[in-house]
Chains A and B, each alone.
Chain A
Amino acid sequence: MSLSNLLNNWAALRETRPYEDQYKNSDYKWGMVVDLDACTGCNACTTACYAENNLPVVGKETFAKGQVMHWLRIERYWGDGEQLPEFPEQGAQFLPMMCQQCEAAPCEVVCPVGATHHTPDGLNSQVYNRCIGSRYCSANCPYKVRYFNWANYPEKAWPNPLEMQLNPDVTVRTKGVMEKCTFCVQRLTEAKNVARTQGRKVADGEVTTACAQACPASAISFGNLADPTSEVAKIWKQQQVKLAKDHQDKEEGARGYRIFEELRTYPSVLYLERVRDNEV
């Protein structure tokens, strides 16, 4: 059975990804745009992510040890590397960083048990019950957006009755497994199911991630890159960024870029560069 499968599908089995227009005929390819000019660093997205995905609050000491569990982190960079002396808080730039759902994810290759893969709708999946916690995926991630459960956080994070607040659509992870941003896959699955029962595809704006939903400045946009009429697809096109290219031919002044593109991870998150205050 498996040998004939191997021989019949040899060409398909040898295909490498991503290739150009890979998702042209697909129903879904989830992508994101983050506008760094709009981001104020308020951390509402992070908090929403905590609430939506049952992330444990680890406490001050554990946080100081570097064992924090935020799937989406707001990184703070002081402008041009220096704090402005007159307005010390004004020079900061904020970068929301979450799993980039790379098309050629370095984490997927190295998991020894195959707990992480790429789904047909373009997400990097993490299978908690397969993970044995070797942490090679995190070692290989250039963005370091994978978070490991260093302790049995559920024991202490939600003392009764706080466990009532947990999202029933999302599992609670035990110690020893790796987790990361999933683009709120539970919302996506539900939206796809609803759409399928109605015999249609998910419309643009029908489903969004918790972080995009919570952002007061609408800095985060989420949608279906395979649908050319969706907002994110339009922004990607406008910024002349192609998913399957590691070096984009863009004109000067285009704000859109992907982080660490030269590493050929082909991330699915586009960042819109911040327009500098003094340039305006």
Chain B
Amino acid sequence: MSTTAHTMALFNDFDGAAIALEELRSRKIPGFRMEDVTIKSPIEHPELSEMLGKRPVYVQVYTLVGAVLGALVGFTLIASAQANFLVQIRGGRPLVPIPPDMVITYELFILCGVLMTIVGCFIGWKLSGKRSPLYNVSISVDKIAIVVKADRNAISEINNIFSRNHSLEIIGE
């Protein structure tokens, strides 16, 4: 039997959830940390998420790396390909002309930036730790859920806080 358990409380709106979170934060219950709280909601609410503590988002680092690498690798590949051609003099232009190479480098810059952004986002989703199995379909409709992972003995006290703050439902593991 594991020592941690999960509990989820559903709220009608963000304000109700905010009050509950505030109380959770101020109570300092042993066996429970604010980092183990997750909010599940149908739309995002950055201010509410901030109450959980600072959790930085690294997506744009991937974007930058991807875009810059994409541009450099793209230009090098194309210029090298042009330099390697056997019969290739075309229209009097240089063998490695800058304007066409710039156009294609620009497009590859954007393509790699976009793809790396997606990769960064997926990594950000996966790295958020173990995903709690608790989910309720009403979250995708209009309810806001607070999911807490804590020691088993702390769970009942957390549930008390939830029910005091007008939660609609409390769902255990």
Q: Which residues of A contact B (CB under 8 A)?
A: 2-3, 5-6, 9-10, 12-18, 103-111, 114, 116-119, 125, 266
**Shortest CB distance B138–A (Å):** 54
Q: With an 8 A cutoff between CB atoms, is B128 at the interface?
A: no
Give CA–CA (A109, B85) in the complex, Å: 15
Count of chain A to chain B residue pairs whose CB atoms are closer than 8 Å in the complex = 66
Task: Let me know if A104 and B91 touch, CB within 8 A.
Answer: yes
Task: Let me know if A16 and B80 touch, CB within 8 A.
Answer: no
**Shortest CB distance A84–B (Å):** 42
- 30 pairs from A and B in contact (CB 8 Å cutoff): A3-B80, A5-B80, A5-B83, A5-B84, A6-B79, A6-B83, A9-B83, A13-B83, A13-B95, A14-B95, A14-B96, A15-B95, A16-B93, A17-B92, A18-B92, A104-B93, A105-B91, A105-B92, A106-B91, A108-B90, A108-B91, A109-B93, A111-B90, A114-B88, A114-B90, A117-B87, A117-B90, A118-B90, A118-B91, A125-B87
Q: Total interface residues on B, using CB and 8 Å?
A: 18
Task: Let me know if A13 and B96 touch, CB within 8 A.
Answer: yes
Closest to B82 in A: A13
Q: Which residues of B contact A (CB under 8 A)?
A: 76, 79-85, 87-96
A-side contacts of B76, CB under 8 Å: 3, 6
Give CA–CA (A116, B91) in the complex, Å: 10
**Shortest CB distance B47–A (Å):** 51
Q: Name the one of A2, A14, A18, A110 contacting B94, with C-beta atoms under 8 angstroms.
A: A14
Task: Let me know if A109 and B91 touch, CB within 8 A.
Answer: yes
Closest to B91 in A: A109
**Shortest CB distance A158–B (Å):** 31
Q: Name the one of B90, B93, B96 contacting A6, with C-beta atoms under 8 angstroms.
A: B96
Task: Let me know if B80 and A266 touch, CB within 8 A.
Answer: no
Task: Let me know if A13 and B80 touch, CB within 8 A.
Answer: no
Give CA–CA (A53, B7) in the complex, Å: 84
Query: A3-B76, A3-B80, A6-B80 are contacts. A16–B87 as well, Cβ < 8 Å?
Result: no
Task: Let me know if A2 and B81 touch, CB within 8 A.
Answer: yes
Task: Let me know if A16 and B92 touch, CB within 8 A.
Answer: yes
Closest to B87 in A: A117
Give CA–CA (A114, B80) in the complex, Å: 16
Task: Let me know if A2 and B89 touch, CB within 8 A.
Answer: no
Give CA–CA (A5, B80) in the complex, Å: 7
A-side contacts of B87, CB under 8 Å: 117, 119, 125
Give CA–CA (A114, B92) in the complex, Å: 14
Task: Let me know if B92 and A2 touch, CB within 8 A.
Answer: no
**Shortest CB distance A78–B (Å):** 35
Closest to B83 in A: A6
A-side contacts of B84, CB under 8 Å: 2, 5
B-side contacts of A266, CB under 8 Å: 92
**Shortest CB distance B132–A (Å):** 49
Task: Let me know if B91 and A15 touch, CB within 8 A.
Answer: no
Give CA–CA (A69, B85) in the complex, Å: 31
**Shortest CB distance A139–B (Å):** 14
Give CA–CA (A109, B90) in the complex, Å: 5
A-side contacts of B91, CB under 8 Å: 104-110, 118
Closest to B79 in A: A6
Closest to B97 in A: A14
Closest to A14 in B: B94
B-side contacts of A118, CB under 8 Å: 89-92
B-side contacts of A14, CB under 8 Å: 94-96
A-side contacts of B89, CB under 8 Å: 17, 108, 117-118
**Shortest CB distance B50–A (Å):** 48
**Shortest CB distance A250–B (Å):** 23
Give CA–CA (A199, B88) in the complex, Å: 28
A-side contacts of B82, CB under 8 Å: 13
B-side contacts of A18, CB under 8 Å: 92
Q: Name the one of B80, B83, B88, B96 contacting A117, with C-beta atoms under 8 angstroms.
A: B88
Sorted nearest first, the 3 A-B pairs with minimum C-beta distance are: A104-B92, A109-B91, A2-B80
Q: Besides the contacts A13-B83, A17-B89, what 11 more A-B pairs have beta carbons closer than 8 Å?
A: A5-B80, A6-B83, A13-B95, A16-B94, A104-B93, A105-B91, A108-B90, A114-B88, A117-B90, A118-B89, A118-B90
